[in-house]
């Protein structure tokens, strides 16, 4: 892409920001590639809340399997994270935080009493054991898969039902190309080399409610040496993914495929680029499953899921529509479409605190297909294509300019 004739070069302080802008554009490529939100700060309340929620899920699973001691330790760890969240962000989502605080206090008191004194025939009237065992909720649990068409008979209620101990290896291959145009700079068309990531997962437990608690370990992250790919971007990606192999984490998803949070462990002293990649993969991993409707459906059924997602510092409204192609025993084939739109908003970029961005346009759409087995919690195979356009106003050294990014990405998933 050549520089347009009506563009004027930046001058003064704006010109001196060109290296920073070029660096930020490279970061944009990684963000778009991983299809995830801008990484949360260590003390971001949403990040702390998610960490606390995963700990509660783990504790609930341990408690349900009769492991009271380990469950009590997890509840106390979750309480510590929640206490830190309240101290750092006292006004953040007080209703949800209050509910979690009460829930944790009740479970800790009940299990502590149980550990201190063996049961002698049932709880007393004042015992915490007499209270109903509230099930933690989350923002994800509020999502709904609204059925548009029920499909043909016979219909079936679709639920994931893996068994504890089940193992699965997932491979993701991604290809992406990006056109970037900024006033005062030559336009850039960047074709990235294909990236292939693998991860091994193990189902740790399945709760009575169907929540699936899993562990995962990252395998190789390979950057293909394609001749027509930008070598500088290839090197940037190789650097970003160095140290990726062997990283581990855990998470929870419902039996309807709604992710309830994923946590990954990053080594102390890890390179900032690796931390960024890990955080983005963590966010993306919980969105791999197809969200399933509550009702029974048959071939031809269609359902819609609306949600707000965060990507590249933006809050985006996303609408996905899925269609059930076929059901063969536990083997399900689904195809779907997705549309994303974002309203005008300011974008905060931690990498460039000296610049401000005003989103004026964001629109994206895509389609894909997925084949999965209801006895596994991750898909068996699938492909997707997504295109998007983002237009942002940027204030560089007191001079306003416009940044336009057009991206096309293709993803293939293979599970075994």
**pLDDT, mean of residues 293-302:** 96
**Alpha-carbon span 100 to 140, nearest angstrom:** 15
Q: Specify the pLDDT at position 10.
A: 38
Q: Specify the pLDDT at position 328.
A: 94
Q: Specify the pLDDT at position 148.
A: 96
pLDDT tens readout for residues 322-372: 999 999 999 999 999 999 998 888 876 544 545 567 888 889 999 999 999
What's the residue count for the chain?
416
Three-state secondary-structure class, residue 38: coil
Q: Report the mean per-residue pLDDT for the chain.
A: 75
Q: Specify the pLDDT at position 29.
A: 42
Q: Specify the pLDDT at position 282.
A: 62
CA distances for 352 relative to 1, 18, 30, 196, angstroms? 26, 12, 16, 29
Q: Specify the pLDDT at position 200.
A: 92
**8 or 239, higher pLDDT:** 239
CA atoms within 13 A on the CB side of 193: 21
**Alpha-carbon span 106 to 141, nearest angstrom:** 22
Instruction: Give 46's DSSP letter.
Output: H
Residue 382 confidence (pLDDT) above 50:
yes
Q: Percentage of the chain surpassing pLDDT 90?
A: 24
Q: How confident is the model at residue 381 (pLDDT cuts 50, 70, 90)?
A: very high
CA distances for 180 relative to 194, 372, 376, angstroms? 19, 36, 40
Residue 283 confidence (pLDDT) above 70:
no
**pLDDT, mean of residues 216-244:** 74
Fold topology of 13-40+146-415? Lipovitellin-phosvitin complex; beta-sheet shell regions (2.30.230)
Residue 125 confidence (pLDDT) above 80:
no
Q: Percentage of the chain surpassing pLDDT 70?
A: 69
User: Are the beta carbons of 86 and 45 closer than 8 angstroms?
Assistant: no
Q: Specify the pLDDT at position 376.
A: 93
Q: How confident is the model at residue 24 (pLDDT cuts 50, 70, 90)?
A: very low
Q: How confident is the model at residue 96 (pLDDT cuts 50, 70, 90)?
A: confident
Q: Specify the pLDDT at position 297.
A: 96
Neighbours of 346 (CB within 10 A): 12
Residue 103 confidence (pLDDT) above 70:
yes
**pLDDT, mean of residues 36-53:** 57
**pLDDT, mean of residues 80-107:** 85
Residue 416 confidence (pLDDT) above 90:
no
pTM of the complete model? 0.65
């Amino acid at each position: 892409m050549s520089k347009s004739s009506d563009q004027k070069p930046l001058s003064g302080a704006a010109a001196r920001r060109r290296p920073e802008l070029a660096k930020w554009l490279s970061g944009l490529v990684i963000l778009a590639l991983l299809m995830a939100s801008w990484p949360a700060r260590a003390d971001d309340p949403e990040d702390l809340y998610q960490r606390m929620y995963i700990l509660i899920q783990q504790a609930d699973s341990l408690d349900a399997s009769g492991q009271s001691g380990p469950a009590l330790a997890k509840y106390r760890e979750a309480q510590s994270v929640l206490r830190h969240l309240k101290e750092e962000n006292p006004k953040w989502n007080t209703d949800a935080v209050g509910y979690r605080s009460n829930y944790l206090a009740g479970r800790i008191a009940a299990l502590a009493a149980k550990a201190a004194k063996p049961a002698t025939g049932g709880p007393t009237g004042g015992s915490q054991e007499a209270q109903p065992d509230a099930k933690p909720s989350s923002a994800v649990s509020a999502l709904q898969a609204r059925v548009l068409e029920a499909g043909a008979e016979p219909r079936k209620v679709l639920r994931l039902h893996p068994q504890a101990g089940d193992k699965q290896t997932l491979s993701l291959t991604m290809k992406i190309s990006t056109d970037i145009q900024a006033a005062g700079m030559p336009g850039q068309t960047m074709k990235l080399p294909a990236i292939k990531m693998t991860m091994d997962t193990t189902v740790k437990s399945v709760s009575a409610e169907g929540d699936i608690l899993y562990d995962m370990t990252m395998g190789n992250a390979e950057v293909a040496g394609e001749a027509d790919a930008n070598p500088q971007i290839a090197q940037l990606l190789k650097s970003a993914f160095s140290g990726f192999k062997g990283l581990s984490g855990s998470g929870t998803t419902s039996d309807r495929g709604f992710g309830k949070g994923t946590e990954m462990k990053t080594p102390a002293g890890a390179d900032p680029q690796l931390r960024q990649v890990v955080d983005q993969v963590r966010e993306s991993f919980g969105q791999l499953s197809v969200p399933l409707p509550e009702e029974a459906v048959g071939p031809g059924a269609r359902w819609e899921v609306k949600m707000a997602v965060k990507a590249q510092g933006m809050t985006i409204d996303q609408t996905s529509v899925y269609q059930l192609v076929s059901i063969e025993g536990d083997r399900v084939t689904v195809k779907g479409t997705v549309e994303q739109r974002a309203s005008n908003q300011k974008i905060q970029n931690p990498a460039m605190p000296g610049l401000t961005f005003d989103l004026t346009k964001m629109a994206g759409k895509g389609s894909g297909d997925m084949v999965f087995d209801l006895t596994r919690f991750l898909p068996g195979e699938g492909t997707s294509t997504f295109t998007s356009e983002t237009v942002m106003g940027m204030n560089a050294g007191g001079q306003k300019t416009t940044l336009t990014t057009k991206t096309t990405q293709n993803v293939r998933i293979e599970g075994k």
